[in-house]
A and B are shown apart, each in its own frame.
Chain A
Amino acid sequence: MKTAHELRPGNVIMLDGSPWVVQKTETTRSGRNAAIVKLKLKHVLQDSTTESTFKGEDKMEDIILERLDCTYSYYADPMYVFMDAEYNQYDVEAENLGDAAAYIVDGMEENCQVTFYEGKAISVELPTSVVREVTYTEPSARGDTSGKVMKPATITGGGTLSVADFVKTGDMIEIDTRTNEFKKRV
């Protein structure tokens, strides 16, 4: 079981007897510190998506499906192609990657986990942290070195996130893929 707060794109959960792939998670906070999680879900067996809201502590049945460690090979619209250690290729629909797609870039070395349902590759889970290059960010405005002042940045692959004020264009940074948060400069 996982709480709604712990879910991330690529997870597959069981709701009312049906498997759903988590495509996007968005966590906010209600009035008294409680997390509210908005999920975009895709039904594994039908071609339908839905948006749903949960309390952060709501428990979800996280289905353990067959998974394989794979590396990203290439993109053939609308499929991302991954390869296992034995050079078998698996196609995953771009839509099923949800927010994780922002971290899938050519030449990436991190291992991803491809999830299968009844023999079909249905989603991909990223490692919890990845290292990416900052392709653009404004120069430091305040000379802050504490890491508390944040500013927007674009990374390889086109994704955006908030980074510490001291980060510069060209820096390599570590990102938590579960929260899309900057962790540190590498």
Chain B
Amino acid sequence: MSSVIPFLPLMLGAFAALILRGWTRNIIMLAAPVVGALNLMGLEHGVFWSMEFMGYALEPVKVDKLSMMFGYLFHLAALIAIIYALHVKDTVQHVAGLAYAASAVGAVFAGDLLTLFVFWELLALTSVFLIWARRTDRAYASGMRYLIIQVLSGVLLLAGLLIFAQVNNSLLFTQIGLGHDGIAEIGAWLIFAAFGIKCAFPFVHNWLTDAYPESTPSGTIFLASFTTKVAVYAFARGFPGEEILVWIGVTMACFPIFYAVIENDLRRVLAYSLINQIGFMIVGIGIGTSLALNGAVAHAFNDVIFKGLLMMTMGAVLHMTGKINGSELGGLYKSMPKTTIFCIVGAASISAFPLFSGFVSKSMIMAAAVKEGYDYVWLLLLFAAAGVFHHAGIKIPYFAFFAHDSGIRTTEPPKNMLIAMFLGAVACVILGTFPAQTVYALLPWEHNYEPYDVTHVLTQLQLLFFSALAFVWLNLQRLYPPELPSTNLDADWLYRKLAPKFVTTFGCAIYGTYVKFERSSLALIKRMIRQTYDVEQGQPKGYFARLWPVETMVVWVAVLLSVYLVFYYI
């Protein structure tokens, strides 16, 4: 075939963006994802490129339905994000964005763990520049924390894959699973942990909520699209059907919605809801039937588009007003009507309204949970689905565009941003209305799922409308928590407050002890000197110290000889 390595078009685009300026750069950047997607169409399933490295067979490019689905998704997401970022006059963001997208594509086509590791680290190294590109102190510090955690994930992956290479004598990336014996089990858990960090598992999720909202308006669109979805892909390939994932996933689906309700920064609200959506996917992977796995990857596909759309609308608000806190916004529907409509489309999609994209994928996971007898999981997912409508579906549009009038008067964002949001919105509706021709056609596993039936549409509408009714009621009763300028403590408190405090307290204690010890030792030595030296006479007090060394020596030799003599007679 005439196809090239899948990530090459995007990577070359990144290099071209580094050199070119002005409209030539724009054309190349727009062409890169289009050419990349066309290139994918020409790829045949199977190993595209294999080689040998230190006695291990590597397959840097391997094509199957699963990788193909994510490949298409990443090219589509990259195209939308690039259009959204076209007006930005910042080479760093353009180059980093394209290289980041290329790394994501490289990762999902990696047929072996070593190649996966390389792209795993490239994802971290390229994306951190999108955070630093905000060029504030907060963004710098946040990017640093992000990078440390991401690289830690890479190190764990490397350790795990080295153990696997030793035990299995193979580096190929196939199903890993957690049931192993001996040291292989440690390797499997290390890889699991590496994937889990990038997937924002509970307690290691704060890199996401910390860094994404600190990035630039356009940088966040790239960030929200790739890293976590590569991790979801990696779980779908490496750990399908591991039951622990069901429980981790349901935790991820539930706890962030509480944070999202009280969070003030609207992009951070979306970051929490990103974790919530990944939770659904992880549950699907944990259940592991073909319906559940299809649901997980279909939801990943739809999530990239609707979460990107929501992030784009909030980025547009930030870009135009310089503000993103719910407490400072409101009433923007008057000056940004188009952005408002796009935001509502995104909100309807993430909330899984019928005819919008979330509906056709979230329902697969829910159906699989009921079918496999995960009753409480199903009930909790239903709660999370209602909650996501509450915080992402209503709260985001309501506090940004409606609520009380903040008095801010602005205009619609630049044309390219509007076009990108329009494309995202159209994609959400097409994916939700014609799933069989779009996202279902790409699904890797066999299925015959039909999302649109009376029961399903009716129950979903009941769930959503009565969630909205709860919002209306709470608002009218003035029971709804107001948006307040605040920081909410989360697991990152452990390493942003507790650990530094512990280190400073502990360090101070050690240093204090050292200083005390030094001072008392010096005092002791001084006292010894004072006791043994006669300052008035100008000579030591002790008998031996008054003699010359030679004389001292003679005395000791005499003592030695007499002792020897005594021993001789004994």
- Tell me, yes or no, whether A binds B: no
List residues of chain B with CB under 8 Å of any chain A CB: none
List residues of chain A with CB under 8 Å of any chain B CB: none
